[in-house]
Chain A
């Protein structure tokens, strides 16, 4: 019994937490790939910008960081729409490799700007030690982890409803399916693109705040998470947001569970090699199942 409780407290909940961060980031990567057809390498840095947006709001308003999420979301949306307008849109008619390279440049710009405005050091949202939540005298976990997991579940449900029920969600799936037919049907493709950025940037900002609150804010926060997020997007089948959500949770869990002492009393994989798990999953997938785990296109 105590072993199971320890497994849940120390591996399962932290795994789902980091998985949620990956999931929220991977959704944007997956949707941008589905609709704009390019790998957005500045997505991690968009997370960082969202995180700093909330950090700044915390300095100005004495509220809990999660209540100030709209500030980070707004900053990330404005940043994403601006780079799309000035860097990506002019390249839209060219082969997508131009946009991919441009997104590398944008990633560098984002990171340099965050260093310029917020310095390159580590900063925390709430100083001091936070006591864990204790449930039934057995389960001990941080309140943040519970908040992250619950919020991610709510976001996943809302995203699913948006994509399947709303006119804009269906338009996005239509453009991802057959962009030329979407134009023939008279859909406003640029509006669909704007909404893709709005949703991708919003979820990236939320993921950035979650990651920053779990550890600390620093300019490389998002960039360091890019590899597992891409692995999650590929695992879910690139272009499928709900697949990316599942992929993120799977990668996060796999990373944490790989350090569980499955055999003997030592961690199965040393925690310092944790990040290699996502990389390994991505390599194996690209070799054996590049279309991802799930069937279908954008849902």
Chain B
């Protein structure tokens, strides 16, 4: 197991938002967390990345206890994250945004890593000297993912990577996720576009009211009547 979450309880100011969460993530899989608004999906991601206070339970990464470590200690271990909004440094150029991604954990060959990332996101090639704040939402998402990948993580946490994007970009981002996985990166993401996300997901977890509701493979959940009725708008896959 790459990531093993057991009995995780977390929240703000002592009040639990997620309670007793269990989650397993195998190497090289894409896993999606879905659920209604306010179910604690983002909080779960933030807790794994030490941005929310853990109140109980444990998180293990590559069989190492990482509960209580700080974010800047997690990046060198191989975990990166992309927040949902405000995910680029707007006044820094695209090249500088990517560069900042290497500071917490400098890769052995920065030039090679950057070349590989520009291969993944060819759209960014002619925007390198442009401030990231001038880019479109979809391009910003690429800069944000590129920045997170610059530290060569083995686990990438994504909080709603397609939020606010046009349908055309949505497809593009999902294709990119498959490419990123093909580069050996495991992905754990929160996604509102549950149907599309489940199609590319190996495993999926439904969260309701801060608790595990059901988990399974993407295909299983797409077939699950209750999941379909409650979270996929009741339509057939």
Complex: A171 Cα to B90 Cα, angstroms? 13
Contact present for B89 and A181 (CB under 8 Å): yes
- The residue among A180, A183, A185 with the most chain B CB atoms within 10 A of its own CB is A185
Query: What are 25 A-B contacts with C-beta separation under 8 Å?
Result: A167-B99, A170-B99, A170-B100, A171-B103, A173-B91, A177-B89, A178-B86, A178-B89, A178-B90, A180-B86, A181-B86, A182-B89, A182-B100, A185-B75, A185-B147, A186-B71, A186-B72, A186-B151, A187-B100, A187-B104, A188-B72, A188-B104, A297-B90, A297-B91, A298-B91
Complex: A180 Cα to B92 Cα, angstroms? 15
Q: Of residues 184 to 229 in A, which have CB atoms within 8 Å of B's CB atoms?
A: 184-188
Q: Could you say which residues of chain A place their CB within 8 Å of the CB of B147?
A: 185
- The residue among B51, B74, B104 with the most chain A CB atoms within 10 A of its own CB is B104
Complex: A173 Cα to B99 Cα, angstroms? 12
How close is A175's CB to chain B, nearest CB, in angstroms? 9
Interface flags for B99-133 (1: CB within 8 Å of A; 0: not) read 11101110000000000000000000000000100
Complex: A173 Cα to B88 Cα, angstroms? 12
Query: Is A299 positioned at the interface, with any CB of B under 8 Å from its CB?
Result: yes
Q: Which residue of chain B lies nearest to A186 when distances are taken between CB atoms in the complex?
A: B104
Complex: A259 Cα to B89 Cα, angstroms? 44
Contact present for A183 and B51 (CB under 8 Å): yes
How close is B2's CB to chain A, nearest CB, in angstroms? 19
Contact present for B101 and A170 (CB under 8 Å): no
Complex: A167 Cα to B96 Cα, angstroms? 10
Known: A183-B51, A187-B100. A177 touches B75 (CB 8 A): no
Option from B74, B87, B104, B131 in Cβ contact (under 8 Å) with A181: B87
Contact present for B71 and A177 (CB under 8 Å): no
**New A-B contacts (7) at CB < 8 Å, excluding given A177-B89, A186-B104:** A170-B100, A171-B100, A178-B88, A178-B89, A185-B103, A186-B74, A188-B104
Option from B83, B86, B105 in Cβ contact (under 8 Å) with A186: B105
Q: Which residue of chain B lies nearest to A171 when distances are taken between CB atoms in the complex?
A: B103
Contacts from A to B (Cβ < 8 Å): 167, 170-171, 173-174, 177-178, 180-188, 296-299
Contact present for B92 and A177 (CB under 8 Å): yes
How close is A26's CB to chain B, nearest CB, in angstroms? 19
Q: Could you say which residues of chain A place their CB within 8 Å of the CB of B91?
A: 173, 177, 296-299
Contact present for B86 and A187 (CB under 8 Å): no
Option from B74, B83, B86, B89 in Cβ contact (under 8 Å) with A174: B89
Known: A185-B103, A186-B105, A187-B104. A170 touches B96 (CB 8 A): yes
Complex: A184 Cα to B83 Cα, angstroms? 8
Complex: A174 Cα to B144 Cα, angstroms? 13
How close is A210's CB to chain B, nearest CB, in angstroms? 30
How close is A125's CB to chain B, nearest CB, in angstroms? 40
Query: Is B61 positioned at the interface, with any CB of A under 8 Å from its CB?
Result: no
How close is B80's CB to chain A, nearest CB, in angstroms? 8
- The residue among B89, B90, B99, B131 with the most chain A CB atoms within 10 A of its own CB is B89
How close is B173's CB to chain A, nearest CB, in angstroms? 19
How close is B210's CB to chain A, nearest CB, in angstroms? 22
Q: Which residue of chain B lies nearest to A177 when distances are taken between CB atoms in the complex?
A: B89
Complex: A187 Cα to B151 Cα, angstroms? 12
How close is A151's CB to chain B, nearest CB, in angstroms? 28
Interface flags for B69-82 (1: CB within 8 Å of A; 0: not) read 00110111000011
Q: Could you say which residues of chain B place their CB within 8 Å of the CB of A188?
A: 72, 104
